[in-house]
Amino acid sequence: MRKVPLLAVAALALGAAAGLAAPPKGKNFRDCRDCPEMVSIPAGSFTMGVSAAEEASVGAAKGFSGRSVPEHQVSVRGFAIGKYPVTRGEFAAFVKATGRDTGNICSIWKIEPTGVKFATEAGNNWRKANFPQTDRDPVVCVNWDDAKAYTAWLAKKTGRPYRLLSEAEWEYAARAGSTGPWYWGARPEQACLYENAADQAFAEATKADAKEVFQCRDAYVFTSPVGKYRPNAFGVHDMLGNVVQWVEDCGNRTYAGNPPTDGSPWLAGDCTMRGVRGTGSRMSWRYFRPGLRDWVKTDYRGTMYGFRVAMTQ
């Protein structure tokens, strides 16, 4: 991979979380045995989006150029976020309790002699992805409606305001005070210390372009158990890698059109599509940035797609 000039990473001054409920400020907590572990995130402001300088330095990800502009200032209230993406074991407790039908068709990546083939096939679902998983791996093959049903069940079960993240909250938590393409700093080869990313092992296993992966090894080709790598400065794991994560916002092709500046979800636009953030473990390093954004049909299930929860505090 060629060396690229990167934007400087700002120092982070962690403040106290503005919690209104039982969890102590700045502390991790879990509301029940099967509930996700949560991290309190402090209120703050940040610049949301991707700058022209970042696009020029890293190189635009194919099809993504221009989606994350214009940059704009957002002030986020304190909230709590899942320390990890929702795991397969946590999702299993929800399905057992509710009997939810989560379908039996999922888009998968198949490794073949000529490379990776992307296919939508029956017989694949969150219980049976096309690669090995443990109950500590992030759940995949879940759509936006499944994620919303899970948060509604969790809120009812605990009596607390669980929900999906907004795009702004997700980006704020993923950046954790940084301003450049990667929250860990300016050395791309350190990606494998912090995230399950598209790495050299992935390129070898799938015949992917070696120039489009991080020049390091993270020990996993597909998903990994959550928390295997270092957290960001907010103490949150797996924000950029492992799985792409559903958020609340409706689909909008750019930030033109006055998106909210208070950290709330943008509920105007095409609401048959919902936002997804992060890049999972199988996408080019050029996509692997907190400012990049995408949107997907709400009924889509794929082996790259999972979610994490948030809570109003």
Its pTM stands at 0.89
Q: Which amino acid is at 142?
A: V
Q: How many other CB atoms are there within 10 angstroms of residue 227's CB atom?
A: 16
d(CA 240, CA 106): 22
> Where do we find the tokens 């090894």?
217
Q: Greater confidence, 87 or 24?
A: 87
Q: What is the mean pLDDT of residues 165-181?
A: 96
Q: Which two tokens stand for residue 279?
A: 């890049």
The pLDDT, as a whole number, for residue 188 is: 86
Indicate if the pLDDT at residue 16 is higher than 90.
no
* Distances 24 to 34, 83, 172, 223, 313 between C-alpha atoms, Å: 20, 16, 21, 32, 11
Sign, CA dihedral 51-57-59-61, equals negative
> 223-254: per-residue pLDDT in tens?
999 999 999 999 999 999 999 999 999 999 99
Is it the case that residue 178 has pLDDT exceeding 90?
Answer: yes
Phi, psi of 224 (to 5 degrees): -125, 160
Q: How many other C-beta atoms lie within 10 A of the C-beta of residue 100?
A: 15
Q: Three-state SS for 56?
A: helix
Q: Give residue-wise pLDDT tens across range 298-313.
A: 999 999 999 999 999 8
Distance from chain centroid for Cα 191: 15
User: What CATH fold (topology level) applies to the domain 28-100+134-312?
Assistant: paralog of FGE (formylglycine-generating enzyme) (3.90.1580)
- Show Cβ contacts of residue 197 under 8 Å, excluding neighbours closer than 6 positions: 191, 213, 214, 218, 240, 241, 279, 281, 285, 288
